[in-house]
Structure 1
Amino acid sequence: METSSVYLSLPASKERLYDYSKAMDWPYQFVTLSEADRHKRRILNDQYGLYAQLSPLVPIIGLLLVRLVRWRLGKLTEKQAPYDAEATSSAVAFYEASVASSPLALWRRFSWWLSDNVEFAGLTLCQRDQLIFGGVWAAWLLFLCTKDTGTDYHHLARRFGIVGISQLPILYLLSLKWFNLVALILRTSHEHLNRWHRTLGRITYLFITLHGVLYLNYYFQVGGLPAAFLRVVPALGMSGLFCMTLLNTTSLKLIRRLSYRVFFIIHITVALALPFIVWFHVPHGRIYMAEALAVAIVDLGIRRYTRVTSFCAVEGIIGTDLVKVKVKSSDNMMKSLASRPGSHIYLSIPPMSKSKKAPLLLSYLGSEFIFNPFTVAAIDEEAGEFMLVVRQMRGPTTKTLSSFSDPLLRDINVALSFDGPYGDYTSFPSFSGSEFDGVLLFAGGVGATFILPLLKHIRTENPSLRVQTIWATRNINEAAWCTTQADSGILKESGLRLFCTRSGFESTDNSACECSSISDVEMSSLDKESKVNDSSVPVESFQRPNIRQIVNAFFQQGHGRRVGVVVCGPDEMAADVRRVVTHWVERDRDVWFHNESFGW
């Protein structure tokens, strides 16, 4: 909404503007500036906008230094910690006492506390570190917005705008899946950075909203509000603010539950349109819009270039609402998947596989911008194929895949497009050495498509490592897809315990849990009759697993060293596991915890 000719276009004299500002009960006033003063204001705004954009370098460098210090502290602690191959209780007690007051132990407890969820009125808002560091970041940007603005109302309003849009390039960068320089520098993944993308997105929206509100107040005060909407610059500003409001509203969990497709399409549309709106709204912000648009186009271009289309066999799994997709893939894709267990790909349906009744333009746009993430459940390197297990949901992609599984079409392969692989495994620690005392894996429903490949990889990397896997399903047929694979013996793997709850997953406090309707790892209710031979699927129990008992027993049997805990299942399952593991973290046990989720 910024314009240098705002005074000339309003039906109010300079004296009237000054009178209105005097009536305002706060320090900022509507002041009249000379051309030289306006130029100085412009220089200051550009300067603080640059400060705001370069500021993310500070936490990135700080995080790298923290990792260096933590690595050094870990080396010092290893020299102090004894190793007792017999895992006696005295050895464990001695180890816990030796590290209880160490700097590394204090850091671990603090890090665990930061990663706890913040809840309000029964709703999970974010993790505690997002709230704290996001608040610090917002305070820093607020300081940049008010510094050297004096009592000039327009200086403050414009500063909120320039600082807000200066965050858009880093906001876009954090959202990228392939060309993510921040993930490369920090040796992490898009999935881990996505929550910071959401945090920065809310902060950016706040500052741009304040920019808009200040200008709306100005137009109202001088009596020029109706006329402002008829001018190009204010109209573009309000359009941009409306788009960002629409984007943030559809990002709410309630809206995403009702229609994830609406959230996704609006997200993509606004992200591509916003740089053009701001470009014509204010010339001084064009450098930031060029940066944001450039990184987005480069990422989309790379993903489009690396996307592959393959003919796939789609088959329904009897007695469930699951669909099995077998994909013949290239050697490069198979090598990437083999080196990244538990990775996921983005699947889209090309126009050639869609109904001929659908308009060609809509089919093309759908194949370019509508894609769903699915975990690669298994790979067969000899056959050159990988497999997906998909649960039919309410969206068009899974419904279309389900229609391809019609028995009448069993001998007909369909064309599907794939982009990836992606996943958090690149940031996982190594399981090959003696760092870990054991790894405890939890899978809920089709969350096993992530857990079982990880289990197989750990067994290959370190056969002697103590590993226990808990897989909870509602129906025995949900585990049947494993019995048809080349590595079907994984169901009889030592340490794998299968629980078929039949009545649904429940938490450890005996309260029933309802799972998210949009999650790809949820365990939805199944009414179909079981038709799988129970002997091929070794079920330990037809009751829910006692998570507290399982976790406590696993930690008690260890040597006192680091324990890995990985969960891929409903939110309630992850919350129950984390609640029990917290007890051991408070006892100074070193825990590496990972919760795999497609909530966004």
Structure 2
Amino acid sequence: MSLSWPWHFMTVSDAEKQQRRELLDLRGFYAQCSIVVALVLVRLYKASSSAAPGTEKPAERRSKRKPVEKSWLDSPPVAGWFETRRQYIICLLWLGWLLGLSVWNSGEDYLHFTKALGHVALSQLPLQVLMSPALYLSPKPGSPSIVSVLTTVPQPVINSYHRLFGRLVISPLLVAHAFLYSSFFLQSSHPDYSSLYAKRIRDPDVQWGVAAAAMATAVVLFARPAVMPRWVRWVKPTSAKARQQVFYIVHVLIVGVLELAAYSHVSVARVYIIESFVSSALNFSCCWLFQ
């Protein structure tokens, strides 16, 4: 079995381009349908667990006052980390599923695989928004998101998935998409420039793409308010509440620029950006109703 890189630069006809365009749309459809399936399965699991015979009521559990040892899966992989092994495993499995969707029917077409990475990543933006605590700075920051309401999973747990989903799923896929496209441009020649990259970097769509990849990286670096990154410590927040405010404002600005850049980068991304805006409005309404 050959271990060489399976994808290559290929010249395709207009009919083949149309076929690839339809495949990309189908990937996005499957990626979003899988979200619905996952939410339904979680809700069914929670319902069956609560209805199981001998299940203790919360009041009964609290009355016992016995310390419960966390299982290996429900402990963080490294001391001091917030998320558990279970949450890392689930997010990495989801990343594997999206990578599998990107590889599916890509053949040896390097650019088709590269586009698929970006396409499936953007298809997950609405889910990321629906997991977010929209009223983060309100007196009741634990107000449930739509995903929390639908699955009956507490919002603090959903927050952990929201953070990991951005760091382990969406951002790596977008950065990989940008890296592979840049590699293609650098390896391709152009009659009037040193490389195709030197020509394409002057075009607005590529500049917007670079900006989107930069914002995806910034989301990973600016991950949570508990410890301020060195590059923003000049703000010198004086309290936990101030740190939360700085984090929230910067985080929302980064995500806003990311979505603007993706919207301007390529027309096929616009449907996912619009969906994320609609999801944001719905999620805000949900948090407000249940606060």
Which TM-score band (shorter chain)? 0.7 to 0.9
Instruction: Quote the residue 2:219 is aligned against.
Output: 247
- Pick from 105, 129, 141 the counterpart of residue 172 of structure 1: 129
- Pick from 25, 30, 35 the counterpart of residue 56 of structure 1: 35
Identity of aligned residues (%): 25
- Pick from 46, 50, 61 the counterpart of residue 71 of structure 1: 50
Is 1:198 matched with 2:163? yes
| Conservation of the 8 A alpha-carbon contact between 1:160 and 1:211 | yes
Instruction: Quote the residue 1:115 is aligned against.
Output: 74
- Aligned AA (1:154): L
Instruction: Quote the residue 1:219 is aligned against.
Output: 185
Higher Cα Rg: structure 1 or 2? Answer: 1
Instruction: Quote the residue 1:132 is aligned against.
Output: 89
Residues 277-331 of structure 1 deviation map (CA, whole Å, 9 limit, x = unaligned): 211211112111101012224555788xx7xxxxxxxxxxxxxxxxxxxxxxxxx
| Conservation of the 8 A alpha-carbon contact between 2:46 and 2:151 | no
The equivalences for 1:288-437 within 5 A come to 288-300=272-284, 422=291
How far is 1:143 from its partner? Answer: 0.5
Instruction: Quote the residue 1:42 is aligned against.
Output: 21
Measure, in 2, the Cα distance between the counterparts of 1:231 and 1:148. Answer: 30
Residues 489-521 of structure 1 deviation map (CA, whole Å, 9 limit, x = unaligned): xxxxxxxxxxxxxxxxxxxxxxxxxxxxxxxxx
Instruction: Quote the residue 1:266 is aligned against.
Output: 250
Instruction: Quote the residue 2:61 is aligned against.
Output: none
Measure, in 2, the Cα distance between the counterparts of 1:57 and 1:114. Answer: 25
Measure, in 2, the Cα distance between the counterparts of 1:38 and 1:165. Answer: 20
- Aligned AA (1:238): V
The equivalences for 1:2-41 within 5 A come to 25-41=4-20
Is 1:284 matched with 2:243? no
- Aligned AA (2:127): I
- Aligned AA (1:195): S
Q: CA 1:182–1:421 in 2, change beyond 3 Å: closer, same or farther?
A: closer
How far is 1:141 from its partner? Answer: 0.8
SS at match of 1:114: coil
- Aligned AA (1:114): L
| Conservation of the 8 A alpha-carbon contact between 1:149 and 1:156 | yes
Measure, in 1, the Cα distance between the counterparts of 2:206 and 2:172. Answer: 18
SS at match of 2:5: coil
Number of equivalences: 252
Q: CA 1:141–1:124 in 2, change beyond 3 Å: closer, same or farther?
A: same
Residues 109-141 of structure 1 deviation map (CA, whole Å, 9 limit, x = unaligned): 9x843221110xx54262111111111111111
Instruction: Quote the residue 2:139 is aligned against.
Output: none
Instruction: Quote the residue 1:158 is aligned against.
Output: 115
- Pick from 152, 159, 174 the counterpart of residue 187 of structure 1: 152
Instruction: Quote the residue 2:59 is aligned against.
Output: none
Measure, in 2, the Cα distance between the counterparts of 1:69 and 1:299. Answer: 26
Residues 461-481 of structure 1 deviation map (CA, whole Å, 9 limit, x = unaligned): xxxxxxxxxxxxxxxxxxxxx
- Aligned AA (1:286): R
SS at match of 2:107: coil
| Conservation of the 8 A alpha-carbon contact between 1:29 and 1:152 | yes
| Conservation of the 8 A alpha-carbon contact between 1:160 and 1:207 | yes
How far is 1:200 from its partner? Answer: 1.1
Measure, in 1, the Cα distance between the counterparts of 2:125 and 2:34. Answer: 13
SS at match of 1:148: coil
Higher helix share: 2
Measure, in 2, the Cα distance between the counterparts of 1:148 and 1:190. Answer: 37
Q: What is the Cα-based RMSD across aligned positions, in Å?
A: 2.8
Q: CA 1:295–1:190 in 2, change beyond 3 Å: closer, same or farther?
A: same
Task: Please list every run of at least 4 consecutive aligned residues from structure 1 whose deviation after the TM superposition is greater than 4 angstroms.
Answer: 256-259, 298-303
| Conservation of the 8 A alpha-carbon contact between 1:176 and 1:296 | no
SS at match of 2:77: strand
| Conservation of the 8 A alpha-carbon contact between 2:146 and 2:286 | no
Query: Which 10-residue stretch deviates more, 245-254 or 219-228?
Result: 245-254
| Conservation of the 8 A alpha-carbon contact between 2:215 and 2:254 | yes
Measure, in 1, the Cα distance between the counterparts of 2:144 and 2:263. Answer: 23
| Conservation of the 8 A alpha-carbon contact between 2:145 and 2:286 | no
Q: CA 1:112–1:74 in 2, change beyond 3 Å: closer, same or farther?
A: farther
Measure, in 1, the Cα distance between the counterparts of 2:177 and 2:122. Answer: 10
How far is 1:146 from its partner? Answer: 0.4
The equivalences for 1:500-539 within 5 A come to none
Residues 186-216 of structure 1 deviation map (CA, whole Å, 9 limit, x = unaligned): 2344333111111111110010111001001
Measure, in 2, the Cα distance between the counterparts of 1:162 and 1:44. Answer: 11
How far is 1:71 from its partner? Answer: 3.2
Q: Which runs of 5+ in 2 are unaligned?
A: 57-63, 135-142, 189-194, 238-242
- Aligned AA (1:213): F
TM-score, structure 1 as length reference: 0.39
| Conservation of the 8 A alpha-carbon contact between 2:221 and 2:229 | no
